[in-house]
Amino acid sequence: MLDPTMHREGEPEILPGRKLAARVAGVYTAPADHFVTQAVETLPLSFEGIAGDFHAGHTRRSGGREPWYPRGTEMRNERQLSIVAPDEMAIVAERMGLDEIKPEWIGANLLLDGVPMLSMLPSGTMLFFKGGVTIKIDGQNAPCRVAGRSIAEHARMADGDAGSLLFPKVSRRLRGLVAWVEKPGVIAAGEEVSVRVPEQWIYRA
């Protein structure tokens, strides 16, 4: 009798899902006219993201990250929230010769501590916050020169153009994640988070 669990030749290896624990080390929001954020005590979320935030909305306009659409095409907003990790930002700061990079400088909304290699969490990972909010990860946040220039300006780098070019080079796969709100509510600094990594596989066919 055929064993339905038996791995067939050529099939992707499937890794089981798992749970991780994390903590909200900081929450931030951005004015509607600029992506640089500022620290707050709590982060009220609706299905549109953070009310009044630079990246709020059910939809957004496509840009350089979506070359398959004409620039400015209205599309689903999967970038409502930007999430970063303190250990990854420390690595990037060291590579740029800086003492630190603050989450606000690169437009982060959540500073999440306790997850090894946060930026490598796969799409579909769900974050369950103790206060009731659920956020779903869309994918990695590709580093760009805009964030690099913001770092250069805030860190008072001697050569702003060089800083804006250096950041995308040294922060690839360390820039954090973008996500959208699946279940709204309020996130508070210091809150516990259950990170649920989905089953993973590599499709090679």
> Residue 104 sits in a domain of what CATH number?
2.40.33.20
Domain count, the chain: 1
Q: Indicate whether 10 belongs to any domain.
A: no
pLDDT (tens digit, 9 = 90+) per residue, 109-168?
999 999 999 999 999 999 999 999 999 999 999 998 999 999 999 999 999 899 899 999
Query: Which residue range is the domain that position 93 belongs to?
Result: 18-197
Residue 163 phi, psi (nearest 5): -65, -40
pTM comes to 0.91
**DSSP state, residue 81:** E
Residue 185 CA to its chain's centroid (Å)? 19
- Of 23-27, 54-58, 190-194, the poorest mean pLDDT is in 54-58
Q: What is the pLDDT of residue 11?
A: 82
Q: What is the pLDDT of residue 6?
A: 58
Element (H, E) at 24: strand 18-29
Q: Indicate whether 176 belongs to any domain.
A: yes
Which residues in 53-84 are b (16+ Cβ under 10 Å) and which e?
Answer: bbbbeeebeeeeeeeeeeeeeeeebebbbbbb
